[in-house]
Amino acid sequence: MRLTCPFCGPRDRREFHYYGAADYLNRPGPEAAASAWDDYLHNRDNPAGVTQDLWYHEQGCAAWLKVTRNTVTHEILAVDAVAGGAA
Amino acid sequence: MRYSGLKVFTEGLLGNRGWKPVWRDPAPKASYDAVIIGGGGHGLATAYYLAKNHGLTNIAVLEKGYLGSGNIGRNTTIVRANYFLPGNSEFYSHSMKLWEGLEADLNYNVMHSQRGLINLFHSDGQRDAFARRGNAMINQGDDAILLDRDGVRELLPYLDFDNTRFPIYGGLLHPRGGTARHDAVAWGYARAADRRGVDLIQNCEVTGIDIANGRVTGVQTTRGAIRAAKVGMVVAGRSSQVAAMAGLRLPIESHILQAFVTEGLKPVIDHVISFGMGHFYISQSDKGGLVFGGDLDFYASYAARGNLPMVEHVMEAGMTLMPMIGRARVLRSWGGIMDMTPDGSPIIDKTPIDGLFIDAGWNYGGFKAVPASGFCMAHLMATGTSHPVAARFKLNRFATGHILDEEGTGSQHNLH
Amino acid sequence: MRIDSKGRIDRSRPLTFVFDGTSYAGFKGDTLASALMANNVRVVGRSFKYHRPRGILTAGSEEPNALVEVLGPSNQTPNTRATMQELFEGLVARSQNRWPSLGLDLLEVNDLAAPFLSAGFYYKTFMWPRRLWEGLYEPLIRRAAGLGRLSGKHDEGTYEKAWAHCDLLVIGAGPAGLMAALTAARAGVDVILCDESSEPGGRLLSDEGAIDGLPAADWVAGVLAEMASLPNLRLMTRTTVTGAYDDGTFGALERVGLHRRPRPNLPRECFWRIVAKRSILAAGALERAIAFENNDRPGVMMASALSTYLNRYGVVPGKRIALFANTDSARNTARSLMAAGVEVAAIIDPREDAAEEPGTTVHRGAVVARARGRMGLREITIRKGASETRLSVDCLGVSGGWNPTLHLTCHMNGRPRWSADLAAFVPNDGAIPGMLVAGAANGSFSTHGCLAAGAEAARASLAALGMAAPMAALPQAEDAPYAIAPLWQVPTKKRAWLDFANDVTTKDVALSAQEGFTSVEHMKRYTTQGMAPDQGKNSNVAALAVLADATGRGIPETGTTTFRPPFAPVSIAAMGAGGRGAGFAPQRFLTSDRASRDRHAPMIEAGLWYRPSYFPKPGETTWRESCDREVMMVRSSVGVTDVSTLGKIDIQGPDAGRFLDFVYTNTFSTLPVGRVRYGLMLREDGHVLDDGTCARLGETHWLMTTTTAAAGLVMRHLDFVHQAFCADWQVRFTSVTEGWAQFAVAGPRARDLITSALGRAPGLPFMGCSDVTVQGIAGRLFRISFSGEEGYEIAVPTRYGEALFRDLIARAETMGGGPYGMEALNVLRIEKGFITHAEIHGRTTACDIGMEKMVSAKKDCIGKAAAARPGMTGPEREQLVGLKPLTDSPITAGAHLFAQGAELTRENSAGYVTSVGYSPLLKSHLALAFLKNGRARHGETIRLVDRLRDIDVLCSVTGPVFHDPEGEKLRA
């Protein structure tokens, strides 16, 4: 498995740390209801198909990446930087 | 037909012509008292205990493929009761007791073998954590023995005690831990459920869950609509998709766990050995293959296959721990789809929809749980209340903060 | 038996080898199988279940029978395919899975008991009495099962792993692969061409065809010569591509040293990770058998293997050979044999319209009904209609047609489709992204078809790479059509073998269907069909066809067969190369490492680091003596210890304070410059992530420390919080853990030691920090303490670490102080009630450790919302307490706590001990523990029970701080 880091180019999966669904980007505000926090932290669509998840180029440029990916075929459809990029 | 050594002998004399099908192949009826979605280990066990413990026999198991086509046939076959958190402890202990009577109960040899499981530790801190666990196991009524380095050496002389990266300080021996023949568990439960009148319906995929006024009324399938007042979703690996048919969004993310088996070898490893520092565990099957596995590939996936980084990591762990297996050749690898919950513990609970129940979130530990999972899910479906040993496996425990995190890595999906 | 004029072996280089204790002769270029055949050794193995004598079936890695142990100078390798083991001088091999010998195997009694050992019999018996399963039945089964033996000794062999990258990977160097690789390499792209065999050429070396009017082998030699001149083509022989993975990644195993005499540092194998933009699978096809009664007798083998043994190795396994085949491919074998002077007694061809064959008798519309000859084929029975005739032969070549070697196309869940024309499964397009399948692997069985498909696949791959490929004339070769009359089994009431390696017969498959295991997956799992070392390469399709017959369905309706990695078995040592010993994980050493070892400190693992356990003095015989002394030394004078393993993160920017307020529970933005604050960090799930100090070095400059264990985790966490939630804030940070060596100096004389080292008084208040110059080196000084004494941590750039450590220790020793290790550090922190990851073990909340007041009510922070859930606080949770035994008894971490008089059950366990140590100061064992509602129970007596170690001690519950609870010493 290989990801193309927008800053570093195509790299093997072992350079990256996976961090779950991109839902984690949508942090509720401090005053949000408990159910909003429950959803944010725990509940997931978990699709069998295209999903977006977070990867950290830990052995590279330390960028957090949002990867659009198919969970059935493992096809990588897009890799974007979380900070400032298309995220 | 009752199985026995005598039956095998007499059938052998008669050319094995008398063996009957292990289960019927019924067409689905229009209505059942209860249906169970999922003909894997947990679903078949649920059906069996519904029939046996609760007298519910007008029930069906709906399986989209063949019986036992999921993780029951894709695991490393380990059976253990070595949990330490209240909630897990009593559940797996109960499961172990069911395992110990399973062959007699099912009249099927699932080859449950209590070979002893050894969890190695590699620092004083790990020893302390395993001591806490071992004491919890004994307090629960199960067995545990704390081995020092020499104690481990006596049982596992072939480990690399001199050069391994993380020196072996000792191990926690769980004598009643061991293995079982995975497929046989599915077949044994299926046969026993069938004998009690349960309809096992293969190649029958559930395509919708019918709900009226907040109550479940039945399911739509590729073989027609089936009415049922109670529906159990027992589809670990596909839980999110099936629950979505009922409008539910679960605290589950699906991951790949790979496992490996070598070519057959004469007996060389008697125990189940677990090497936490390398996320590596190994045993030897009765056929002689070394069966071993490691950690999740660690990315959400439904592909039932993995990639090389984890493959290599597992092999490297094996080589630092027990380099005597170096010349064994890996014959086959496979991946199972794991229902990962945020805290690593399962869910056996009602859903917000009346009559709809869920048994899910088995993470990477579902095999050993099969008997108690079926037992408790059957109890829940029949009585509407949680069985005491599964009372903490609540669907809403993440909302309330009553977390069951054995590993302590965090009750978030991204922290497994 | 050797055929003088034939083969590619080097007759000028004779070799000797040993099999089962007997010495034999062979030649360079032989495999163990061909050399045994040349020496007329017919039985080479015993079958898995029935222990039937077995001979060589194939000439490739799919061999199910001829598995042997190869013995090296110090170890042995089980389950080695004799067909793949190249001969070298002094090779020693031994048969396996037999006792006491290959010729007399007592477990052959299983063969007589076969009626009672049918498929899945073990699921139906051995259940009573239960205790005999582990005691008797299972040990017997285990001993009888299994194949070769591991020695139990460490594998001391050398193994390697490597990476390779290319534009195009071509898998298989037969006609299709050679043509593909050549076409692509001529166009200039980087090509890797892998072949499993020792010599490229594939079937061109085995069959006596012609290409462009030349003997095929000569054409191959020409191609190889051109390839050698192309620097962009890398030819890897003895390299099996074992797996196809995501994004063009392949695994491949190269047999680097297995064909040579072992010598030091010669790798046995190398496991390659090949990353290819495009790939072409040209792995050929495997001939398949036909099941008939006793078709597993030694001397019954694949027809194509006969050709290979004759043409590559100049050897034939018999003097009088028959062939049983339902395609024309075996006719080439017959012609080669006859041309070499070997008698071909008959060709049995089930096709009614089969052609005659000059030189031998063709039995059209006939089948072989059975074989005879337990230790070697003597006779076959030919059945035509109702009549049977017997024929004396010592070898039978069988061909039931060909199965494309499409295994790799299944590795990413691709399913093949059934081709009725070929009576075989063929791969579907696109099963592996970027991969094309060419030649026999794609069902194109003629030489011309392979050459054309290889060239075409190369052109298509080049086009996908954006390269134009010139059309080149194809070499001329035979283009015979493939005509097959499918025949899977010859009906019999006796046993006819499908899976030779696992002893699965057509009866087993029929029984499986009879018992309702009609799904192909059920049949496989119930009968173990296809689960042996050959992974069903020889038999899966036939078994599927037999199952289809038994259930009255067609083959496509019955199911497809699939394959998982690896294509051929790979040693654990090869895929785990580099993992032996210390290689498994990086080792991190402190700058003071050598100085500590000079003082004979035992170094222990702390994560990836090595830290000194204690510093023994002459006369001290136990670690406790040293530890007690070091503790008292710190409490009474001064001690020095290396704390560089703590994570250090340098944080800068105008928004740094705001950022710290967000990641810590407490407020940092208000901290004055030159001050340090203890901080608590939560995970978003509300549990404690880490704790540590953070110093404000300047208005916009901070230095965070983390625990040793969580250094990487915290860095990742900060990066996430910043990039995901506040990327626009002006803050940047980087790990400087490895940039600084840092030493704790603690004790009543710590200030004197620092004064001596700096040449001036430190002049810092408790929790103060400043830049300092240490003997001319710019460093940093922090007044913080993990021991409860007045303490400093002094940091210098890493390259000065060892010098400073030695200097500090020398100065300390003049004051009655010295170095202290992890053991003393642990006791000091327990006396003071400071927590480590033994307490913040991932399930702990701020409340549990009595730090709920550190969660600021005035601001949001990571984890604050989740920490407010009802289950995260409250008296039913376990809270941090101290424990002191009422008597002078040792206590243990991991013990559980019970109310006095309570039964020792799970329900009554009120908590557990996390850390213990002996305090020489208080002359008592001390513990930190978690106890339900513990803060309300100070002063109570609780029972500490460790049933693993027979410890049962009454303890008084106290606050967690045993020493100087008011903190007067810290602030002195």
Q: What is the ipTM of this complex?
A: 0.98
d(C-alpha C833, C-alpha C880), whole Å: 9
Rounded to 10°, the helix B366-383/B89-100 angle is 100
CATH 3.30.70.1400 domain span(s) along chain C: 647-738
Tens digits of residue pLDDT in B343-359:
999 999 999 999 999 99
pLDDT of residue C834: 97
Of C48, C569, C585, the CB nearest to B330: C569
Strands, E assignment, C20-157: 22-28, 45-46, 53-54, 67-71, 76-81, 91-95
Test the A interface: residue of B299, B363, B395 with most A CBs within 10 Å: B299
| Nearest one of B101, B27, B35, B38 to B67, comparing CA atoms | B38
Test the A interface: residue of B235, B250, B301, B316 with most A CBs within 10 Å: B301
Tens digits of residue pLDDT in B210-259:
999 999 999 999 999 999 999 999 999 999 999 999 999 999 999 999 99
Of B303, B309, B398, the CB nearest to A42: B398
pLDDT of residue C225: 98
Q: Domain count of chain A?
A: 1
pLDDT of residue C972: 82
pLDDT of residue C176: 98
| Nearest one of B363, B358, B182, B159 to B261, comparing CA atoms | B182
Structural domain containing residue A23: 2-81
Test the B interface: residue of C122, C123, C918 with most B CBs within 10 Å: C123
- Classify domain C876-972 at the CATH class level: mainly beta
The nearest alpha carbon in chain A to B338 belongs to A46
Of B21, B308, B316, the CB nearest to C578: B316
B-chain CB neighbours of A14 within 8 Å are 309
Sign of CA dihedral C122, C126, C132, C136: negative
Q: Is the domain covering C492-570 a CATH 3.60.20.10 domain? A: no
Query: Cβ(C281)–Cβ(C439) under 8 Å?
Result: no
Is A45 within 8 Å of chain B by CB? yes
Is A64 within 8 Å of chain C by CB? yes
8 Å CB contact of B240 and A54: no
pLDDT of residue A86: 41
> Which chains touch A (3+ CB pairs under 8 A)?
B, C
User: What is the CATH architecture assignment of C1-154?
Assistant: Roll (3.10)
The nearest alpha carbon in chain C to B186 belongs to C522
In a domain, A56, yes or no: yes
Query: Cβ(C479)–Cβ(C278) under 8 Å?
Result: no
Please give chain B's pLDDT, 416 residues, in tens. Answer: 899 999 999 999 999 999 999 999 999 999 999 999 999 999 999 999 999 999 999 999 999 999 999 999 999 999 999 999 999 999 999 999 999 999 999 999 999 999 999 999 999 999 999 999 999 999 999 999 999 999 999 999 999 999 999 999 999 999 999 999 999 999 999 999 999 999 999 999 999 999 999 999 999 999 999 999 999 999 999 999 999 999 999 999 999 999 999 999 999 999 999 999 999 999 999 999 999 999 999 999 999 999 999 999 999 999 999 999 999 999 999 999 999 999 999 999 999 999 999 999 999 999 999 999 999 999 999 999 999 999 999 999 999 999 999 999 999 998 87
CATH 3.50.50.60 domain span(s) along chain C: 159-284+404-464, 289-400
DSSP for residue B388: G
Is B302 within 8 Å of chain C by CB? no
C-chain CB neighbours of A75 within 8 Å are 433
Question: Number of A:B CB contacts under 8 A?
Answer: 79
pLDDT of residue C471: 82
Helix (H) or strand (E) holding C167: strand C159-171
The nearest alpha carbon in chain A to B303 belongs to A72
Test the C interface: residue of A5, A27, A31, A38 with most C CBs within 10 Å: A27
Is B400 within 8 Å of chain C by CB? yes
To the nearest whole angstrom, how far is the Cα of A74 from the nearest Cα of chain C?
7
C-chain CB neighbours of A58 within 8 Å are 716
Is A35 within 8 Å of chain B by CB? yes
Tens digits of residue pLDDT in C6-19:
999 999 999 999 99
Is A83 within 8 Å of chain C by CB? yes
pLDDT of residue C131: 86
To the nearest whole angstrom, how far is the Cα of A45 from the nearest Cα of chain C?
19
Q: Specify the CATH number of the domain C159-284+404-464.
A: 3.50.50.60
8 Å CB contact of A41 and B252: no
To the nearest whole angstrom, how far is the Cα of A84 from the nearest Cα of chain B?
22
Instruction: With cut-offs at 50, 70 and 90, classify the pLDDT of residue A85.
Output: low
pLDDT of residue B395: 98
The nearest alpha carbon in chain C to B6 belongs to C125
Query: Cβ(C945)–Cβ(C896) under 8 Å?
Result: yes
Sign of CA dihedral C845, C847, C852, C854: negative
In a domain, A76, yes or no: yes
CATH number of the CATH domain containing A50: 3.30.2270.10
% of chain A with per-residue pLDDT over 70: 97
Does residue A10 carry a pLDDT above 80? Answer: yes
In a domain, A32, yes or no: yes
- pLDDT < 70 stretches in chain C: none
Residue C634 in tokens = 């710190």
Is A77 within 8 Å of chain C by CB? no
Question: Number of B:C CB contacts under 8 A?
Answer: 372
Does residue A87 carry a pLDDT above 50? Answer: no
The nearest alpha carbon in chain C to A25 belongs to C724
pLDDT of residue C531: 95
Residue C397 in tokens = 């070549």
Is A74 within 8 Å of chain B by CB? yes
Is B415 within 8 Å of chain C by CB? yes
Surface-to-core class of residue B45, CB atoms within 10 Å of its CB (0-12 exposed, 13-18 middle, 19+ buried): buried
Residues in Cβ contact with B180 at an 8 Å cutoff, skipping those fewer than 6 apart:
B77, B79, B99, B102, B110, B111, B112, B113, B367
Residue C4 in tokens = 């003088």
| Nearest one of C253, C164, C179, C180 to C220, comparing CA atoms | C179
Test the C interface: residue of A4, A7, A24, A37 with most C CBs within 10 Å: A37
Is B139 within 8 Å of chain C by CB? yes
Residues in Cβ contact with B407 at an 8 Å cutoff, skipping those fewer than 6 apart:
B344, B416, C842
Is C248 within 8 Å of chain A by CB? yes
Residues in Cβ contact with C236 at an 8 Å cutoff, skipping those fewer than 6 apart:
C192, C193, C194, C195, C252, C254, C272
Is C275 within 8 Å of chain A by CB? yes
B-chain CB neighbours of A54 within 8 Å are 414
The nearest alpha carbon in chain A to C276 belongs to A2
Tell me the C-alpha to C-alpha distance, in Å, between residue C613 and each of C606, C633, C823, C915.
10, 16, 6, 16
B-chain CB neighbours of C892 within 8 Å are 128, 131
The nearest alpha carbon in chain B to A43 belongs to B251
CATH label, C647-738, candidates 1.20.960.40, 3.40.50.920, 3.30.70.1400, 3.40.309.10: 3.30.70.1400
Test the B interface: residue of C85, C843, C848, C943 with most B CBs within 10 Å: C843
Domains of chain B are 5-77+183-251+343-415 (3.50.50.60), 113-177+254-340 (3.30.9.10)
Query: Cβ(C380)–Cβ(C366) under 8 Å?
Result: no
B-chain CB neighbours of A69 within 8 Å are 299
Residues in Cβ contact with C782 at an 8 Å cutoff, skipping those fewer than 6 apart:
C676, C693, C695, C764, C768, C769, C792, C793, C794, C795
In a domain, A87, yes or no: no
CATH label, C289-400, candidates 3.40.50.11540, 3.30.1370.10, 3.40.50.10800, 3.50.50.60: 3.50.50.60
